[in-house]
């Protein structure tokens, strides 16, 4: 097969116009990200609206796919992706054609010629090239595909859809792989389509006939190039990540290290990824073109020569203004990119997919993983660690004071085997509620409801107050509501309880107070509960249909208590309104990075080993 000789010829083709090819790749990617990506976002969002849903979730994906309009928009999206591939590949084919003839070509001329060639996709005779472009992607853009492993966003939404439709997805992937393998015999069709302006039908026929000469060589060569580039990319990123994690963890504390690690690695990985993605496709197509020219030398293309001459003549006229035009295109693309990024950051532009990034984080008894639960230290830490809501529990002492304590007994957190309702507040003040957690918090006291209200008001933080009434209590619900009213906090808090009668009393006192029913397992029509605005349910028992039913009745649903990363990601995809957790900082970080690739997740966890 003499792959080595073909590789050397490919190197020569690439080297002759290497500078122009690299600049073309950079300009094209800037141009594509500025215009094509926002257009794809827009088309997708329109398709969601036309299917009769507001946001696409794992739950309504089937409804989206049943809408006839969806398939029209899928065709439009395929056309855009095909245009991206054909523009990129056409430019590279033109560059290799000039290199073979020993002529230099400017980057702008490559871009204009590629754009003109891509317009031919609109011709119905060339529709087949749209599918051909899709089958070319695995051969030409392996680095782009591997980007989903190295940190390019791959939404958890799609992972959930795949898990819920395993058989269907496996069949689709298998068919796609089969089509890609079959398409190897038609890979030269893009060369005929580009250089000789042949229609897709004729280009595919010629490619299938000619490719019988070196089909195996073509496949093996492309596979080797892609494997080398992908392994180099992964090895370089893994090496940098492990080295950087080891260094940074020895210089700063854990939280700072995580912040620095995440931000620096995202920037560095993006640079590495852009470098490889800029270089890999030209290298692959230089090899494809080298193989094509081996066939080209023994094939008669007399019928296309006149077309080729006219194309080259037109390209000569473009050269006169190519430099100025290139600067204009580059500037416009950069401006469009900046505008797009600003709109993206300000949430003016987004996909209408219910990404797991809108859910609030509720700190369970404060930051109870890193400080003693239900103490001012835990509440302050929850605030510092970006919790959206702080959850706490209210109990009443023998003399009527409202304090923050989860258990009925004081034993677990203070070491005193007495019930809260059997002791006075003066006695409560003598207890140590921090030593059980660690020596660092020795002497931490049990706070009162009034203390935490002062803290919440001064820091503008929302509280989720769980009512825990007991038989020893006196004027329990009314006393709490009166205190909340005194601090003008009734509209700012959430009142939760497992006791439905307590929630009924709250609503009778003030119907505008937001109430949440706490339940371990939920059955039946939850939306019909009159005195409840939402539900707090153990995460293991929350289902897609439950969330849809609750939201349909315009109520909210909270999931408790989740500390595991995979559980948090799974529950977010069900579209819950808040995640209740003992680790608010970690939960916020998981939500923020919920769409990261698998490999990026692995790299970010490396720092935790130090």
The pLDDT assigned to 351 comes to 52
Asked if residue 302 has pLDDT above 70, the reply is no
What is the spatial distance between Cα 47 and Cα 53, in angstroms, rounded to a whole number? 9
DSSP state of 364: E
Average pLDDT of the chain to the nearest whole number = 80
**562-573 burial, b for 16+ CB within 10 Å, e for fewer?**
beebebbbbbbb
In angstroms, what is the C-alpha Rg of the chain?
A: 31
393 or 346, higher pLDDT: 393
Asked if residue 17 has pLDDT above 70, the reply is yes
- Give whole-number Cα distances, 554 to 53, 312, 528, in Å: 16, 64, 11
Count of alpha carbons within 13 angstroms of residue 565, beta-carbon side: 14
Which residue numbers are catalytic?
364, 406
Give the residue carrying structure tokens 């900082």. 585
Asked if residue 58 has pLDDT above 50, the reply is yes
* Cβ neighbours, 10 Å, residue 176: 14
Spell out the long-range contacts of 479-485 with Cβ–Cβ below 8 A and sequence spacing 24 or more.
479/396, 479/400, 479/402, 480/394, 480/402, 480/449, 481/506, 481/509, 481/510, 481/513, 483/402, 483/449, 483/450, 483/453, 484/453, 485/510
For residue 524, what are the contacts with CB-CB under 8 A and spacing of at least 6?
none
Confidence of residue 508 (pLDDT cuts 50, 70, 90): very high
What is the spatial distance between Cα 90 and Cα 113, in angstroms, rounded to a whole number? 8
- Give whole-number Cα distances, 359 to 545, 574, 576, in Å: 18, 10, 7
Give the residue carrying structure tokens 């030269």. 188
Residues 445-452 have a mean pLDDT of 96
Extract the tokens encoding 105: 């070509």
Asked if residue 355 has pLDDT above 50, the reply is no
All CATH 3.20.20.190 domain ranges in the chain, comma separated: 360-594
* Share of the chain residues as helix, strand and coil, in percent rounded to the nearest 5: 65, 10, 25
* Cβ neighbours, 10 Å, residue 103: 11
What is the spatial distance between Cα 396 and Cα 423, in angstroms, rounded to a whole number? 10
Asked if residue 85 has pLDDT above 60, the reply is yes
What is the bridge-based pairing of β-strands 578-581 and 494-497?
unpaired
Give the residue carrying structure tokens 């006791």. 499
Look at residues 416, 408, 535 and name the one whose alpha carbon lies nearest to residue 469: 408
Look at residues 403, 382, 362 and name the one whose alpha carbon lies nearest to residue 534: 362
Contact, 20 vs 110, CB < 8 A?
yes
User: Residues 148-167: pLDDT tens digits?
Assistant: 444 444 444 555 556 566 67
For residue 35, what are the contacts with CB-CB under 8 A and spacing of at least 6?
333, 336
**323-359 burial, b for 16+ CB within 10 Å, e for fewer?**
eebbeebbeebeebbeebeeeeeeeebebbbbbbeeb
**360-594: what fold?**
TIM Barrel (3.20.20)
Q: What are phi and psi of 360, to 5 degrees?
A: -80, 155
User: Residues 520-579: pLDDT tens digits?
Assistant: 765 555 556 788 999 999 888 888 778 888 888 889 999 999 998 878 877 877 778 999
Contact, 152 vs 143, CB < 8 A?
no
For residue 85, what are the contacts with CB-CB under 8 A and spacing of at least 6?
133, 134, 136, 137, 140, 141
Range from 127-141, 388-402, 405-419, 471-485 carrying the lowest mean pLDDT: 127-141
User: Residues 185-238: pLDDT tens digits?
Assistant: 888 888 888 888 888 888 888 887 766 667 788 888 888 888 888 888 778 777
Asked if residue 483 has pLDDT above 50, the reply is yes
Look at residues 62, 490, 373 and name the one whose alpha carbon lies nearest to residue 381: 373
Range from 241-245, 296-300, 573-577 carrying the lowest mean pLDDT: 296-300
Look at residues 591, 522, 515 and name the one whose alpha carbon lies nearest to residue 555: 515
Confidence of residue 356 (pLDDT cuts 50, 70, 90): very low
Beta bridge mates, 213: none
């Amino acid at each position: 097969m003499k792959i080595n000789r073909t590789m050397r010829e490919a190197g020569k083709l690439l080297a002759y116009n290497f500078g122009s090819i690299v600049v073309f790749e950079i300009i094209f990617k800037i141009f594509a990200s500025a215009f094509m990506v926002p257009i794809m976002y827009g088309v997708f969002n329109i398709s969601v609206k036309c299917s009769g849903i507001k946001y696409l979730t794992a739950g309504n994906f089937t409804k989206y796919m049943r809408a006839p309009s969806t398939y029209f928009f899928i065709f439009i999206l395929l056309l855009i992706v095909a245009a991206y591939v054909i523009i990129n590949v056409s430019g590279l084919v033109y560059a290799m054609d000039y290199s073979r003839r020993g002529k230099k070509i400017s980057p702008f001329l490559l871009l204009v010629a590629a754009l003109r060639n891509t317009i031919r996709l609109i011709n119905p005779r060339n529709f087949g090239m749209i599918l051909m472009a899709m089958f070319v992607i695995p051969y030409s853009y392996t680095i782009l595909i591997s980007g989903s492993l190295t940190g390019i966003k791959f939404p958890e939404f799609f992972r959930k859809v795949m898990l819920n439709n395993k058989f269907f997805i496996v069949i689709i992937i298998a068919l796609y792989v089969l089509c890609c393998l079959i398409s190897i015999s038609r890979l030269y069709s893009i060369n005929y389509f580009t250089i000789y302006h042949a229609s897709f039908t004729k280009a595919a026929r010629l490619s299938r006939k000619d490719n019988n000469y070196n089909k195996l060589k073509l496949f093996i060569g492309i596979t080797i190039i892609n494997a080398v580039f992908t392994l180099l990319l992964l090895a370089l990123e893994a090496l940098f990540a492990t080295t950087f994690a080891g260094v940074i963890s020895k210089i700063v504390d854990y939280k700072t290290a995580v912040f620095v690690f995440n931000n620096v690695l995202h920037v560095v990985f993006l640079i590495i990824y852009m470098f490889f993605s800029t270089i890999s496709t030209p290298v692959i197509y230089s090899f494809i073109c080298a193989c094509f020219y081996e066939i080209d030398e023994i094939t008669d293309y007399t019928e296309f020569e006149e077309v080729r001459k006219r194309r080259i003549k037109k390209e000569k006229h473009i050269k006169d203004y190519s430099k100025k035009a290139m600067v204009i295109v580059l500037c416009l693309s950069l401006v469009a990119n900046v505008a797009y990024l600003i709109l993206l950051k300000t949430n003016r532009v987004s996909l209408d997919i219910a990404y797991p990034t809108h859910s609030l984080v509720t700190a369970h008894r404060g930051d109870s993983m890193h400080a003693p639960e239900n103490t001012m230290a835990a509440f302050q830490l929850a605030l510092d660690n970006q919790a959206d809501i702080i959850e706490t529990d209210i109990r009443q002492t023998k003399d009527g004071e409202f304090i923050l304590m989860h258990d009925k007994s004081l034993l677990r957190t203070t070491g005193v085997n007495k019930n809260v309702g059997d002791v006075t507040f003066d006695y409560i003040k003598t207890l140590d509620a921090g030593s059980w957690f660690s020596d660092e918090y020795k002497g931490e006291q049990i706070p009162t409801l009034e203390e935490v209200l002062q803290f919440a008001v001064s820091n503008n933080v929302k509280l989720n107050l769980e009512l825990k009434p007991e038989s020893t209590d006196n004027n329990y619900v009314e006393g709490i509501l009166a205190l909340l009213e005194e601090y003008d906090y009734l509209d700012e808090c959430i009142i939760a309880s497992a006791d439905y009668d307590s929630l009924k009393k709250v609503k009778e006192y003030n119907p505008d107070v937001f109430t949440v029913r706490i339940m371990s397992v939920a059955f039946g029509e939850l939306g019909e509960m009159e005195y409840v605005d939402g539900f707090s349910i153990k995460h293991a028992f929350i289902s897609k249909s439950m969330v849809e039913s609750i939201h349909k009745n315009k109520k909210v649903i909270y999931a408790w208590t989740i500390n595991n990363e995979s559980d948090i990601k799974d529950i977010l995809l069900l579209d819950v309104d808040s995640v209740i957790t003992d680790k608010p900082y970690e939960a916020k970080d998981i939500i923020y990075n919920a769409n990261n690739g698998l490999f990026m997740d692995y790299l970010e966890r490396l720092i935790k080993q130090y």
